[in-house]
Amino acid sequence: MENVKPAARIPRTGIRWNVTFQVVAMLILLFAVNYFSFNHYARGDFSRSQKFVLSDQTRRILRELKKPVRVTVFFSPTLVSPETQIRSDVQNLLKELTFSARSNSGRNNFEIEYIDPTRDLTRARELQGQYKFSANENVIILDYDGRTKFVPVAEMADFDMTPVMSGDPPRLQTFKGEQALTSALMGLVRPERLKAYFLQGHGEPGPGPDSPIARFTDYVQRQNISIAPLSLGSNDQIPPDCEAVVIVAAQSDLDERELKILDAYARDKGRLFVLLDPRIQTPRLSALVAVAGIIPMDNRVLRLLKNPLLANITGIWRVVTGEFLPDNSITKRLAGTNIILPGATQSLEFPRQAPQAGGIQYWPLIQPLEDFWGESAYVTDETKGVRYDEGQDAGQPLYVAVAAARGGVRDDRVEMDSAKLIAVGNCEFALDAVLTQQGLDFLLSAMNWLLDRGQLTGVMPKTVQHFSLNLSEAQVSALAFYNLIVIPGVTALFGVIAWWRRRA
């Protein structure tokens, strides 16, 4: 019988060292993974509303912080008021601002203190004595470099008070927290308050809460810009504190005296923002725009649109879809999105072969999509057809918004005192009834560029809309019946069937 040698036994000491090494390696790997994931990670909001995704402008304001901002949230959760509904929204927004400020600078630039006046009476009375506000107010106090801003929590949301009539709490409609806090931060970081004048006296809508452009003017003021109406009937010159003149939808032309005043202002490093109404003949206003080399064309931007049901029928489509161009400081952060221009739109011409002619630099801002052209023989009767005529109509590339600057530079990081003008061949997109978020972003970016604040162009803080379902008692009962009885019952029935089949 053959002798079989027993297998060599592994020393227990070697096994212990092997296991110890594996455990230590696993702990080191676990520590390394946790360390890198804690210090190097990305945040994302995949919700439908994108409630706490900060805008480009907010992030750029946070990057300008040189010192920490002390934020005091004076908020009572027990105070009977509509804003108690947005307490969690305010807290989450401040968390996002804190994270973004820290990721930009590497240090904590947001120092937040929460004060509940019903629990911390001593601290609450100290703040009320220091900042002089009522104990019944919910406010956020921002203190930066010796400057202070108050943001009432009630101004951070819109509420529908109708349900109060029936004994229900107010319904939250919109949350405007980021807009309010960004505006306050802008006032702290850039304390100088610039002033823009809106020209009056020619049928233009003026600034004010009842104006057709109230939303536009309201958001301009949130950019830390003062606004005022300007009538040249009794003035021989533009006010000395004027940083920009805005002309929106003039329904009559300038007179010779007004043209001379505005022309002198434009040539003397003035800033003009002109939204033209193509339906109104304003040769002097067009001549003012032409001082900068931008020529408003007597045409209408349109395209032909075939009827999907009737192949032989073609209509005229006058609502222009334009795209923002990336090669300029105003719309480069809006590139990739489109803007809708309702109503009449005319194209603008400028020296394309010499983008810097006569000391003036030009930047096209908005270009209609490929199928649009500038029709010189435009018609208002839909039964009359149009067609593109080479050499007579304006073809692509076609532009409906152009910026010009005399004596400036192309780098928006450099602020220089120069004459600037922006002309747009459409005015209706700025009206409250049709103003879109893209149109508002463009208008505010244009205003900031005119005022030498090119770093603040781009997407602005948004308003988060809240949608509520108004369900009747019968509908609520039906939902409860299906959720509590029908769905669990069907699930249990399938379970019983599966159990019975296995047993059989």
Same domain, 68 and 95: yes
Helices (H), 40-78: 56-63
Answer yes or no: is pLDDT of 162 > 60.
Answer: yes
User: Is the pLDDT confidence value at 143 over 70?
Assistant: yes
* pLDDT of 316 strictly over 90: no
Summarised one tens digit per residue, pLDDT across range 177-232 is: 888 888 888 888 888 888 999 999 999 998 888 899 999 999 898 888 999 999 99
Separation between Cα atoms, residue 73 and residue 111, nearest integer Å: 11
The number of angstroms, rounded, from the C-alpha of 497 to the middle of its chain's C-alpha atoms is: 56
Q: Evaluate if residue 423 carries a pLDDT over 70.
A: yes
Same domain assignment for residues 95 and 206: no
Answer yes or no: do 143 and 215 share one domain: no
Between 352 and 473, whose confidence is greater? 352
Judge if 217 and 264 occupy the same domain. Answer: yes
174 occurs within a structural domain: yes
The answer to whether residue 40 sits within a structural domain is no
Domain end position, chosen among 185, 208, 226: 185
* Domain identity same for 233 and 308: yes
- The structure tokens 């090494």 sit at 21
Residues 147 and 204 in one domain: no
Cis? peptide before 351, omega within 30° of 0: no
- Alpha-carbon distance of 212 to 474, in angstroms, equals 42
The answer to whether residues 201 and 181 belong to one domain is no
- Within this chain, do residues 270 and 359 fall inside the same structural domain, yes or no? yes
Same domain? For 180 and 215 the reply is: no
Classify residue 49: in a domain, yes or no: no
Q: Are residues 175 and 198 in the same domain?
A: no
Count of domains forming the chain:
2
Confidence (pLDDT) at 83: 79
In a domain, 449, yes or no: yes
pLDDT of amino acid 331: 92
pLDDT of residue 467 exceeding 80, the answer is no
Locus of tokens 């536009």: 216
Other beta carbons within 10 Å of 291: 18
Same domain, 228 and 94: no
* CATH number of the domain residue 325 falls in: 3.40.50
SS (H, E, C) 468-496: CCCCCHHHHHHHHHHHHHHHHHHHHHHHH
- 250 plus 389 within the same structural domain: yes
- Answer whether residue 348 is part of any domain: yes
| Rounded distance between C-alpha atoms, residue 412 and residue 88, angstroms | 37
Q: Is the pLDDT of residue 466 over 60?
A: no
pTM for the model: 0.74
Domain boundary among 165, 185, 205: 185
The boundaries of the domain holding residue 219 are 194-456
In angstroms, the Cα distances linking 328 to 253, 402, 416, 430, 457 are: 30, 10, 16, 21, 11
Q: Is residue 465 part of a domain?
A: no
Sorting pLDDT into bands at 50, 70 and 90, what band is 414?
A: very low
